[in-house]
Structure 1
């Protein structure tokens, strides 16, 4: 039987080339970090990080805490938020190269894996912007490396798998999809003897112990992650399912996807590592069923590519593969990084392909335009007015520049922000951002359109800013009616 260890790996990773690629990846991302602007998710994580908690309704605490620490250490700037993503991308490149070595890859395979990972859309997007995906890719890939070593016979690694998986739950609970998929593979295809290894169960218990505060938060708050999953499925499920297959290729790249197919076959042929081959289709099925985002399977794509590099390093047409990877790198850099001038971005295909670029232009302008509306209020209204944001992106932008533009206190009825409570009772003047005029007119005595958001490429473009007065209900009665998850 052909196994992944048929080619004996080098004693140590090919340090100089792989480290150079990882370092170059981090440097390029840091150099590009100031451009375009904050992504709406970055603004949200920054806002959540200002209110440290054990958990939030729509996300575990790790990424908001990264935002909090980053701004505390490096300053409250866009570049500060992007230091960790850039470093994480470099670490990810190293981890994929190490996985390639563990799977039997030689020096050439390690370099191929590092270069293909560094220039993939997934790595560049997650390394340029602070997203939950950013940390997920590193943590999940670390778990995968440990699982490979455990499946190859080093049972001690199961304890480390449990430790790292427990930590990963503080970023997203989706780590259970990776571990569950591998578990299905072990049960269906073996090697079932690992189920008799007490260290596996010690690792599982350790994971549960580490994750228990996060699980306690979920249990005592009505399992909000399930509520959010339901909301995401209802709002975005159809679109996510339709784009799932093409985005699997876009996220990793066409040449990387070809190598990934070879990697899947290579894993399938090795009985010990077959669970990793099974895990990917299991994860795809779970994502499609739940209507989850296509990037939920990003870490799976990367380890399949790493496995494929073991074989691809011996191909006779390696120059053709290298050329394809080079062309793909150029395309991905243009699509993923802010190399196109912001003033020209809207006239290119980039916003249609890269949501992170689309939602990172003009967020400061939202705060400025809302401030203009606030300043135009009569003095007696302005004194007690509040700003009400329809979504977390608007709320994050308004909070970020509230001091600069002199905005009043900001509230939002979406996701975690709804739980922070309504405006104080007695508030009669509201500047509402993103709400429909007809809907707000039903719950306020009078509402008038004041401005239309402009200069934003993303979903905020064209949204209304309205001024409403005299709510028809008390705020404790009105607030539950305004709650929405997305």
Structure 2
């Protein structure tokens, strides 16, 4: 952190300060140790199980995300079958790369080595930006790609090299295979450029050629969505409903700022101000409007607070450059104190706590607020209880029995270990798993994992409890206090019933 003492104003066009190899490298090394040390803690997160299951059914599209993350999960599954740690390595690497790129963005702004170190420190002490690197998730990859795109665009502003716009288009095309959030970034950039310049950006052929490339690469995924009724667009309503349970639009901005961390949040706000008001960053002023436009979009649609987190690196970098604009001793001391406090908070956020010291929760809401913890327990208990219920069935009945899980997490947990536990085919009408296949009409016996008894009685002639899965730290209704129902003689054939059962919530 001695490099924080260095200050320097924005250099002239074409110049860049030296890169802070030692300071940024030290931060990346510490972050790598923290991330790799936590990879084997607890169990699989529910979405990770789903990505492995989806990766074993590779397709051009899925109901709730693009094909890239399932493809990554499949690659790691082939390299190290069944390894939870291997599945998480790409998330760690993406997060570490984003830390380095955040410092490079500060360098593009003309930030000294001190500003670069502060930017990397802010990124690495964010309870969202760093901790998301402990598991494979769409937001982990999406955030890192936003950071890369931001760096390429800002570098173009400085150099006017159109190859950078084509590179940004390639990364955008890749990011479209993760989530459909990156177009909002480009909309916000376009609005900022129209307001503050450089308007030349919108006249560049490379930009429009890149847009055509993004569209062309996205065609297979779009065709899949069209053939299946555009389920990914319906996810917006599902996400909005989920957000209402934690305060909806009123909690969006506080949660979004809090996710940046203590020091990161300070630099975030400082960065927006510096971009809009500070003369040395005038040529990058359009970027100051980007978070404001994204807030309007995501608050208006009731999206998740972390949807805009991909632009945090650039804003933190601008804030760090402004913070180190002179040799004011109080700001240097303040930075050190805030970084230390932020580091303590983020270390506390990592999964260090012993399982025996974690208290169980009593409701889905409580578990949902700490989903990163309670979404990782109880999978073996669920598999054991399901396998026991299945083996208790008469042999002849087992031949016409399938498993149907209420949640796509449950279905994924059972599916990826199906052979090991001797289980029949697994189905679920929930989220993307519902599109993996329809139970055959010959399946007149079902073990239904979880779900509502009254609803099941409307679908089957016979519904009786066949087992129970329970884990002390499990997620209520998923791996804690879950009834396994034996259902017989469906009222209608599955080919007719299944389309009406599909749900994204």
TM-score (norm: length of structure 2): 0.90
Is the 2:169–2:213 Cα contact (8 Å) retained in structure 1? Answer: yes
Q: Residues of 2 paired with 1:76 and 1:274: CA distance?
A: 48
Cα offset for 1:110? 1.0
Determine the structure 1 residue equivalent to 2:380. Answer: 364
Q: Residues of 1 paired with 2:453 and 2:297: CA distance?
A: 39
Relative to structure 2, which stretch is displaced further, 23-32 or 273-282? 23-32
Q: How many residues align?
A: 483
Determine the structure 2 residue equivalent to 1:99. Answer: 105
Q: Relative to 1, partners in 2 of residues 1:243 and 1:407: Cα closer, same or farther, differing over 3 Å?
A: farther
* Residues 316-364 of structure 1 deviation map (CA, whole Å, 9 limit, x = unaligned): 22223222221221222222x2100122223699967542222112222
Query: Unaligned 5+ residue runs, structure 2?
Result: 1-7
| In the alignment, structure 1 residue 458 sits paired with structure 2 residue 475 | yes
* Residues 376-432 of structure 1 deviation map (CA, whole Å, 9 limit, x = unaligned): 323333332111011210111111222232222111111222223322112121111
Is the 2:9–2:110 Cα contact (8 Å) retained in structure 1? Answer: yes
| In the alignment, structure 1 residue 252 sits paired with structure 2 residue 260 | yes
Q: Residues of 1 paired with 2:439 and 2:396: CA distance?
A: 18
Relative to structure 2, which stretch is displaced further, 258-267 or 227-236? 227-236
Q: How does 1:65-464 map to 2 (within 5 A)?
A: 65-156=71-162, 157-237=164-244, 239=246, 240-269=248-277, 270-313=281-324, 314=326, 315-317=328-330, 318-335=332-349, 337-346=350-359, 354-455=370-471, 456-459=473-476, 460=478, 461-464=480-483
Q: Residues of 2 paired with 1:415 and 1:348: CA distance?
A: 25
Relative to structure 2, which stretch is displaced further, 185-194 or 428-437? 185-194
The root-mean-square deviation of aligned C-alpha atoms, in Å, is 2.3
Is the 2:374–2:475 Cα contact (8 Å) retained in structure 1? Answer: yes
Q: Residues of 1 paired with 2:450 and 2:214: CA distance?
A: 41
Query: Unaligned 5+ residue runs, structure 1?
Result: none
Determine the structure 2 residue equivalent to 1:5. Answer: 10
* Residues 201-235 of structure 1 deviation map (CA, whole Å, 9 limit, x = unaligned): 22322322333333333344333321222333345
Q: For 1:123, what is the secondary structure of its paired residue?
A: coil
Is the 2:44–2:84 Cα contact (8 Å) retained in structure 1? Answer: yes
Determine the structure 1 residue equivalent to 2:59. Answer: 53
Q: For 1:187, what is the secondary structure of its paired residue?
A: helix
TM-score (norm: length of structure 1): 0.93
Q: Residues of 2 paired with 1:175 and 1:45: CA distance?
A: 21
Q: Residues of 1 paired with 2:360 and 2:286: CA distance?
A: 45
Q: Residues of 2 paired with 1:428 and 1:24: CA distance?
A: 56
Q: Residues of 2 paired with 1:347 and 1:442: CA distance?
A: 33
Q: Residues of 1 paired with 2:215 and 2:189: CA distance?
A: 17
Q: Residues of 1 paired with 2:242 and 2:114: CA distance?
A: 45
